[in-house]
A = this chain, B = another copy of it.
Amino acid sequence: MLRLYGIPTSGNCYKVELLLKQLQIPYETVEVNSRVGENRRPEYLAKNPLGQIPALELEDGTVLAESAAILVYLAEDTPLYGQNKLERAEILKWLFFEQTRIARYIATTRFLVRAGQAEAHAELIAQNLKSGTEALEIMEGHLQGKAFFVGNRYTIADLALFTYTHVAEQGGFDLKPFPNIRAWCERVKTTDRFFPLPGA
């Protein structure tokens, strides 16, 4: 059985867990709590030298890392990934956008705010609010007239982008100016076997 290392409240872990559930792939979980540094323990680094959560261990012991790469691995032969070269390039574009802008600016800011570290990092948070809002503007524009990001159906691009976007307000972002994003978030929540991000 597949083995997922991480914690349920981590957005990047949630992405993989949501996809596993939506694809009805059985798995077991092993808690690696990055909040207390368990991702830096030698026994975990032996499995995933990148030192992040999540990691996914296959039945032969191979360990996959980087949440977006894991999403592609799991979705590859399903409608949740691209059905042709162009769709795959579009989905990958949004997966890279998500990691370099949404996770970087929105997830980091939400984490600092919820950890009570907003004042200590005021300058970083101000920059992130600006850069994260620019990313939201790009998403809002792209969603104009579209139900989902790529191919007019729910894919791992939506799943990944949804995760930190739908809780952006917990980091001080304002989603009111983005009706397309808000409607799309509600749409994602109606997909088969969806479950909410724990602790959000």
Q: Which residues of A contact B (CB under 8 A)?
A: 49-51, 62, 64-66, 68-70, 72-73, 76, 85-86, 88-90, 92-93, 95-97, 99-100, 103-104, 138, 141-142
- List 24 A-B residue pairs with CB atoms under 8 Å apart, sorted by A's residue number: A49-B138, A51-B138, A62-B86, A64-B89, A64-B93, A66-B93, A66-B96, A66-B97, A69-B89, A69-B90, A69-B95, A69-B96, A70-B89, A72-B89, A72-B92, A73-B85, A73-B86, A73-B88, A73-B89, A76-B85, A76-B88, A96-B96, A96-B99, A100-B100
Number of copies: 2
A100: nearest residue on chain B (CB-CB)? B99
Q: Are B104 and A100 in contact (CB under 8 A)?
A: yes
CA gap between A28 and B178 in the complex, in Å: 37
